[in-house]
Amino acid sequence: MDRLSVSAIVISYNGARFIADCLTTLKADLAGHPHEIIVVDNHSTDGAIEHIAQHHPDVILIRNDINLGFARAVNQGIKAAQHEYLWILNQDIRIRSGCLAALLACAAKLDRPGVIGPRYVGFDGRPQCPCRRFPRYHHLLFELTGLAYLFPRSRLFNGWKMGEFDHAVSAPVDQPMGAAMLVSRSAIADVGPMDESFGIFFNDVDFCRRLQEAGYGNYYCVDGVIEHYVGGSVSRRKARMVWLSHIAMFRYLKKWERRRQANGLVRMLCAPLPYIAGFFLILAAIPRSIYHYYRASI
């Protein structure tokens, strides 16, 4: 188990304040495993590239002339990777010792491992809730009406964010958070890489969904731990990110909920649902984006 080879793929964009800790802790945790580290940089302008080139010359650095988005950058890393397992990582993380070994041990217990995700804590040590169910229309309804926030531990009202889930126990889940995803090369070869139409949001949800549909098991591994700065990769562009996340959710629902519907009359009657959902997602995005825009300008 300890000799399984790993390609770590870090997606970088203006993350100079994070990349040093990310790469230092990553290298420490990869020690003992045959490995390579690939950083795909989406045209950073804050000195992140220069730091990597100067302090981590052993890292394979792919420099993009423009920001290609998260999904396309991940696919560049997948194409360049050489090893058995791929560890797809955000830049705004610090990896605690033993994380990779724990994830590989969890993967070994599964007949067909899909995405294996770790336990998350914030930089302040507070636990995060990284697991999700695949979203459906009723989840969106409960989010937009506020019922998910009024009843945060309810499986009915907060089922998408798994409010009732015990994050102190390893378990199969629909979707671990996309900030640190361990997946085998063979699984990716089976279902294909990231769907680039999703850009920065919901690409991980779609990827986990395709794996599950193909018979792979996605898994939350409590013994592997990373520290994650929530929103660190997008916090400076929060207002725009609200719009992109809502658009991505519309695309996800349009793609996957239609496949759940039977042919014939039911399918015809349900055909408008993605567009109704999209309308309400746009309405919800307006006040959220205005709030974050003015908050950033203060």
Query: pLDDT digit string (tens) for 177-217?
Result: 999 999 999 999 999 999 999 978 999 999 999 999 999 99
Beta bridge partners of 225: 119
- Average model confidence (pLDDT) for the chain? 89
Beta bridge partners of 89: 10, 180
Report if residue 119 sits inside a domain.
Answer: yes
Rounded to whole angstroms, how far apart are CA atoms 227 and 29?
Answer: 13
In a shared domain, residues 184 and 42:
yes
In a shared domain, residues 220 and 243:
no
In a shared domain, residues 277 and 204:
no
Rounded to whole angstroms, how far apart are CA atoms 54 and 235?
Answer: 26
Report whether 197 contacts 75 (CB < 8 A): no
Count of domains observed in the chain: 2
Instruction: State pTM to two decimals.
Output: 0.88
Report if residue 250 sits inside a domain.
Answer: yes
Rounded to whole angstroms, how far apart are CA atoms 22 and 94?
Answer: 5
In a shared domain, residues 107 and 184:
yes
Rounded to whole angstroms, how far apart are CA atoms 74 and 71?
Answer: 5
CA 118 to mean position of chain CA atoms: 12
- pLDDT for 245: 83
Return the CA Rg of the chain: 19
Residue 248, pLDDT above cutoff 50: yes
Question: How does pLDDT run across 80-97, given as a tens digit for each residue?
Answer: 999 999 999 999 999 999
In a shared domain, residues 257 and 201:
no
CA distances from 264 to 220, 250, 256, 257 (A): 38, 23, 17, 15
Residue with tokens 């239609």: 258
Nearest to residue 72, comparing CAs of 9, 25, 123?
A: 9
Query: For the domain that residue 100 is a member of, what is the CATH number?
Result: 3.90.550.10
- pLDDT for 292: 54
Q: Work out the pLDDT band at 242, boundaries 50, 70, 90.
A: confident
Range of the domain at 262: 235-297
Question: How does pLDDT run across 122-132, given as a tens digit for each residue?
Answer: 999 999 999 99
In a shared domain, residues 125 and 243:
no
Which residues, 6 or more positions from 179, have their beta carbon under 8 angstroms from its beta carbon?
89, 90, 92, 93, 120, 130, 226, 228
Token pair belonging to 271: 């055909």
Residue 271, pLDDT above cutoff 70: no
Nearest to residue 194, comparing CAs of 215, 178, 177?
A: 178
Mean pLDDT of 54-70: 96
